[in-house]
Amino acid sequence: MRLENKVALITGGASGIGKATVKKFVSEGARVAFCDVNEELGKALLAEIGAEHDFQKVNVADRKAVQDWVDSVAKKYGHVDILINNAGILRDGLFVKVKDGQLLKQMSEEAFDSVVAVNLKGVFNCAQAVAPYMIQNGGGAIVNMSSLVALEGNYGQTNYVATKAGVVGMTRVWSRELGGYNIRVNAIAPGLVLTEMLLSMPEAELEKLRQKPPLKRIGTPEEIANLYLFLASDESSYISGEVIRIDGGMVLGT
């Protein structure tokens, strides 16, 4: 019960890593308020974990919707202790694709802007809405989702890498600005994780991916949730401003 009497907000909580984190935090005693754009999956998870918790349909790119969500959670539970900025999207594509000197295709402005809106601005929106409540409460923990690719880069992910590198930068700024209020801010940088997207791939392709990390397997959502839990709990009370890789020892490009 490492999160007993804590109130935790989790974005992108209806599936994948977010769902595993919601269930982990509930099992550790937290009252969990989670949001997602998928209302059907969100309501199904709420029915599973119990009505003492909270789900709302929220697009983290919508600043007003985020503020309304955070305000309602603070009003319902009286305080906010933890924010897990987990929500994120992919819109992969080559920066430019050229053949015989002719431009064939390039990443669209829409693909760039939509990923920035959710993965970067969404993190900003949620943290800025939550921080005043944590200050009033005497402290808290914010954990942001970055990625291994923020540190290494990755082919075909200009937009995604830019946002995840931006999250690293914001994490380090906020750890400085909010530390005096006893608010710890950290980020995690996962490598390959066995989410629904990977599970939909052919087995032969999955096996190739398993061979990439030195540990010769793909991480699970539960393993990522365990790291979220550690950084949200008092067990990490002197850790702030860090970006912790959780990737099985993987180095991209090798």
pLDDT of the chain along its 254 residues, tens only? 999 999 999 999 999 999 999 999 999 999 999 999 999 999 999 999 999 999 999 999 999 999 999 999 999 999 999 999 999 999 999 999 999 999 999 999 999 999 999 999 999 999 999 999 999 999 999 999 999 999 889 999 999 999 999 999 999 999 999 999 999 999 999 999 998 878 888 899 889 889 988 999 999 999 999 999 999 999 999 999 999 999 999 876 54
The gap from C-alpha 68 to its chain's centroid, in whole angstroms, comes to: 20
pLDDT for the residue numbered 200? 80
pLDDT for the residue numbered 151? 85
Task: Check if 160 is active-site.
Answer: yes
Pairwise CA distance, residues 33 & 37, whole Å: 14
Pairwise CA distance, residues 89 & 110, whole Å: 13
Give the CA distances from residue 1 to residues 23, 74, 209, 253, in Å, rounded to whole numbers and listed in that order.
Answer: 13, 22, 35, 40
Contact by Cβ (8 Å): 54, 33:
yes
Domain ranges (residues) in the chain: 7-193+219-246
pLDDT for the residue numbered 199? 83
Which position among 160, 181, 228, 238 bears the catalytic label?
Answer: 160
Partners of 33 in beta bridges: 9, 54
pLDDT for the residue numbered 253? 55
Pairwise CA distance, residues 222 & 18, whole Å: 9
Say which CATH superfamily domain 7-193+219-246 falls into: NAD(P)-binding Rossmann-like Domain (3.40.50.720)
2 secondary structure, DSSP code: T
